[in-house]
Chain A
Amino acid sequence: MNRSPQKRSFRPNIRPLPAWAMRDLLRRPMETFFLILVLSLIITVSATALLLTEALSTTAQRILADAPSLVVRKVGPGGWQPILAGPAVSSALAVPGVTEARPRLWGVVNGPDGPATVVGADSQMHRLASASAIRRLPEKGEAVAGSGIQAESDGKLNLIGTVPMAFTVIDTFSSQADITAHDIVLLHPDDARHILGLPQGYASDLAVYVYHAEEEAAILPDLSTAFDAPVRITTRSQTSGYYSAAFSRRGGIAFLSIGSTLFSMLLIVWFVTRERTGRRHEIGLLKSLGWTTGNIVSLQLYRALLIGLPAAALGVLISYGLVFAPGVKWPGYLLFGWETSGPALYLDPGGAIIILLELTALVLLPFIAAVLFPALRHAAAAPFDLIESGHP
């Protein structure tokens, strides 16, 4: 069982205390491996839940950044009614602060697998093509479909609105646009008008843009009285509230997993604390050999970091892959019930930093405290009592 010291692990120019901390961990390799594994699993679950909720919030904000300031819809005794586009645009532009008013063609029809949202490709939609969401806008008889719309094997898409119609699918929206375009069918304006039963000159609603977002509320009263017929106006903040509520509710399901994660964390803390308490004699011995309380705490801190940092890196990496890797489908199924694709989610740097801080507070700090606290308590105790506790 002799092991030559010449063959052992210490390399020159390594600081002794971190090197010793590593050696200390390798004394119990299975225990160290188990701790890293469990901690990384806990971090994976927590980080996945946090990343998903944060990504939903960020993605919703990105969607709303392109949304119109205000949406005007005509209402009548039977509900929504088509709006006469020309006069409506003139009326809206007459309101001070309005910079643009655009009639939109859209409505819900029956698709092959359920409801589909038909959108007429107006002149403004060239932005979609330029943003690489699609290759080109559809001509008459053609359609661009979201990933949630399944065409026939020959590329034909049958839709039933006020009349049944068949289209040739020439393109699908890119995955980046999936969260907004999953069930959308983009048609030539004439086709859209035909299947939705909208007479020439009429639109589904009016998208109104204002110069300053802060002016939305101020413009609202003037805009609501600018039309001949009664209208219902939805502001961007109302839309934002809808998205936030919907995403928060769905993201909350994922967030629930943090409860079980925290329970696991408590088990880890208990395990580590118990293990540290079992090493009272060793701490007493180290103190008798000239180690200070600071040395002992430093050693434990290195130990905690040598376990915690790789576990955190591994956990965050796995969770990032689970949420953001191309082709990952489970978030789409969990959040929206999509079976064929997942939404393209986004994360901004600020959100990522907040998540890292949350993970540090939820998982890393309790773990480090669980390692440090017993060591600090024993290191501050009388060394004689500690040594005697392990008397052979």
Chain B
Amino acid sequence: MRELSCHQLCFSRPAPGGRTVGILDRIDTQFTAGSMSVISGATGAGKSTLVYLLCGLLRPTGGEIRADNAPVSRWVSAHKDLWRKDVGIVFQHSHLINDLTAFENVILPLIVRHKDMKEIRSAGLTSLERLDVGHLAGKPAGKLSGGERQKVATARALCTSPGLLLADEPTAHQDDPSAAHILELFAAHARNGNIVIVVAHDRRVLSGKMADRRFRLSGGNMDQIK
């Protein structure tokens, strides 16, 4: 994927009393391959909503999202499902399946992308090793700590080498060395010609030197920080 862009992107939610609550308001921006962007904002600013919109899990209430100039936000679900094969997501709450092992959670996206279990196994283990959690491969996800779950979720997102990587608070439960390592992996992924978007209010992410561009989400608007 070379470019992901938002055009007059709006999102609002229905609220009690027939009202709607605006969350994102006419956002115009673009993310290009080879760069890592960091989006910050206060709690409730709509950062996670933006991640869900950018990966096509939510449909905008106004405007559109284009990937390589194709209006992905207007596509039917079946087309978006296929497009999402080139997207990796690190969810804020990890979203691991507790009765699967860490290794099995990591290979979930690979099952439908590869035809050989050998390749899948190798890619899954490599990805866990890159996050320094290879030793947890056989441990059930339900027994992992918050930080370990986050690393496994990150390994899952990176193992397919996606053209678009979206990460929602990926370092929230990490100590400083681990946070730095994760951000370095993201930066390396971006340098390999992919789009990386990190959403965080973690100061280590915001103050780090890894990001090529920084944005601030506030009052439904997103502004680039110089």
Contact = CB atoms under 8 A, between A and B. Distances in A.
Interface of A: 1-5, 7-8, 10-17, 19-20, 23, 27, 282, 285-293, 295, 380, 382-384, 387, 390-392
Interface string B62-101: 0000000000000001100110111101010101010111
Task: List the 5 closest A-B pairs by CB distance, nearest first.
Answer: A3-B138, A290-B85, A292-B81, A289-B109, A5-B137
B57 A383 contact: yes
Interface residues of B, number: 47
B42 interface: no
A7 B95 CA distance: 26
A86 B78 CA distance: 86
A16 B81 contact: no
Interface in B115-134: 115-118, 120-121, 124-125
A35 B160 CA distance: 35
B138 A5 contact: yes
Given A288-B57, A290-B112, A291-B81, A282 B97 contact: yes
A380 B125 CA distance: 32
26 contacts: A1-B143, A2-B136, A3-B139, A5-B121, A5-B124, A5-B138, A7-B138, A8-B101, A11-B117, A13-B116, A13-B118, A15-B115, A16-B110, A16-B111, A27-B100, A286-B108, A288-B91, A288-B95, A289-B89, A290-B84, A290-B86, A290-B113, A290-B160, A292-B81, A295-B111, A382-B59
Contact of B78 (A11, A289, A292): A292
B106 to A, nearest CB: 10
Contacts of B84: 287-290
Contacts of A15: 115
B164 to A, nearest CB: 11
B102 to A, nearest CB: 9
Interface in B143-161: 143, 156, 160
Contact of B57 (A4, A20, A387): A387
B117 A285 contact: no
A3 B100 CA distance: 11
Contacts of A390: 95
B95 A285 contact: yes
B180 to A, nearest CB: 26
Nearest to B156: A289
Given A15-B115, A16-B115, A392-B93, A292 B82 contact: yes
Contacts of A13: 116-118
Contacts of A380: 77
Contacts of B82: 292
A4 B104 CA distance: 12
A289 B55 contact: no
B57 A5 contact: no
A332 to B, nearest CB: 51
Given A17-B112, A290-B87, A392-B93, A10 B137 contact: no
B31 interface: no
Nearest to B142: A1
Most buried by B among A5, A19, A392: A5
Contact of A16 (B87, B117, B160): B117
Contacts of B113: 290
A390 B97 CA distance: 10
Contacts of A14: 117
A260 to B, nearest CB: 35
B111 A384 contact: no
Contacts of B104: 23
A1 B112 contact: no
A311 B52 CA distance: 42
B186 interface: no
A2 B138 contact: yes
A134 B99 CA distance: 66
Given A5-B103, A290-B87, A290-B113, 12 more contacts: A1-B139, A3-B138, A5-B121, A12-B117, A16-B114, A27-B100, A289-B109, A291-B81, A291-B112, A384-B57, A387-B57, A391-B93
